[in-house]
Amino acid sequence: MARRRCIRIGGGDIVRDAYEMELLHEFIEAGKAVLGICRGAQVINVARGGTLYQDIATQIEAAGAHVHDDYDRHSHAIAWEEDAGLARLYPGASGGKVISIHHQSIKALGRGLTVEARGASDGVIEAVRLQGKPYVLGLQWHPEFHPPGSPDLLDSTPILDEFLNAARGHRW
């Protein structure tokens, strides 16, 4: 019998975890594009056999702040991995600042996933991508909280355009 994996957000919800992982498997099987944000990135990793740090602050030595009382205004810098798809979306940039609201993060990478971005100061995995097709990208940060035209935060438009093109069936 397969061992159930629990994302363990808060007290943990095994039914939610199982449902979301099964939904992800079905989307991948059907060739549908997936963009996982925050918990979604964690679900992608665990569904592919990876593991999580349950609490960054207590489990990663010298970790920067990834969650803060400022909630959806707390930001930190991320850096692209060399040759990552995100690096190609932002030519000439090595990363950017993102809104961060998470106390868990990827520990061991799941099957077929590659790291796209890490925390610039602490190396915490901030983005992963499934190699090959279909399009599956997990972002640990919250692009939906980045106001358009913000001079301080990463412009999310290239990521969202890439996802929408994949969802429409265009080459990515």
pLDDT per position as a tens digit, 85-128: 999 999 999 999 998 876 678 899 999 999 999 999 888 899 99
Token digits of residue 155: 């412009």
Tell me which residue has tokens 């080459």. 171
Best CA proximity match to 102, nearest among 48, 131, 149, 60: 60
Token digits of residue 8: 């363990």
Query: What pLDDT is recorded for position 121?
Result: 84
Token digits of residue 77: 């810098």
Task: Write down the H helix ranges in 31-156.
Answer: 39-47, 56-59, 85-89
Q: Which has more confidence, 86 or 6?
A: 86
Is beta strand 52-53 parallel, antiparallel or unpaired with respect to 75-80?
A: unpaired
Residue 139: strand pairing partners: 37, 127
Give the percent of the chain with pLDDT over 70: 81
pLDDT per position as a tens digit, 20-39: 999 999 999 999 999 999 89
How many other C-beta atoms can be found within 10 angstroms of the C-beta atom of residue 110?
17
**Residues known to be catalytic:** 38, 142, 144
Q: How far is CA 18 from CA 51, 52, 107, 147, 148, in A?
A: 15, 16, 20, 33, 35
Q: Which domains does the chain have, with CATH numbers?
A: 14-167 (3.40.50.880)
